[in-house]
Amino acid sequence: MSAALIVTLFFTVAMLVITAYFLMGSVPLLVLEHDTPLDARFVRGFYDTYYLAAMLTASATAVSYAFVGNMVLMFGAAALALMAAIQRRTVIPKMDSLRAEIQARETKAIPAFRRIHVTAILVNLAQLALIVWSLTAFSLE
């Protein structure tokens, strides 16, 4: 097994672990009432960290796939990195806005924040399923 393939496997596993870890960590956060700015700040920080980690590992994974010549998986990992960047630019500002509304005791902000949280979980689940499927459908070599 070549060194490039070992690096590719390392980054692939890192991408899988980060995606699975944040999925498993985000579901229990649904028990929070989301009714205080502290809850909202914690969830927002959790997702901000996830999106940064996902962008970093998916980008590194894409580069490593390019080095081993697997363009299908390279484009897939690059798409995941791009999706994390887009989510970070859209979800985080929405959470910030709703957090301010929660602090102002706006009653509609709490269900809206929970919807964003649940949607982010579902997107994360879809990404994890896509990663696992792609690894079973396409050869690493």
pLDDT band at 36 (very low <50, low <70, confident <90, very high): confident
pLDDT at 57 over 60: yes
**Full residue range of the structural domain in which residue 88 is found:** 3-137
Residue 92: CA count within 13 A, CB half-sphere: 14
Which element (helix H / strand E) includes 84? Answer: helix 71-103
| Number of structural domains in the chain | 1
**Residue 130 Ramachandran class (φ > 0 left, ψ -120 to 50 alpha, else beta):** alpha
pLDDT band at 141 (very low <50, low <70, confident <90, very high): low
Give the pLDDT confidence score for residue 32 in this predicted structure: 81
**pLDDT tens, position by position, 79-98:** 999 999 999 999 999 999 99
Give the pLDDT confidence score for residue 30 in this predicted structure: 85
Give the pLDDT confidence score for residue 139 in this predicted structure: 67
